[in-house]
Amino acid sequence: MAGSKKPGETWKGHVSVAVKTEYNRKTYDAITFRIKRDGSDGVTREQIQAAADAAGQSVNQWIIDAVKEKL
């Protein structure tokens, strides 16, 4: 039927934000860590981003790899 949509879809056929949020909530654990903006704890956002770029990875994947290496 024209104009009908499937559950979780917007009228343009894209998955709704609510559906994406629910998927992410069920699929992933979120871990937040904080670094000081002034770098006084020994690392800056720019250093992390540069290391990830040099490795050809996203920051998320670079951090996961760093944690696995430390474990």
Q: Which two tokens stand for residue 7?
A: 């559950």
The domain ranges of the chain are: 17-70
Structural Rg of the chain based on CA atoms = 19
Q: What is the pLDDT of residues 32-42, one digit of tens each?
A: 999 999 999 99
- Report the C-alpha gap between 60 and 52 in whole angstroms: 9
Longest CA–CA separation in the chain, Å: 61
Q: What is the pLDDT of residues 34-71, one digit of tens each?
A: 999 999 999 999 999 999 999 999 999 999 999 999 99
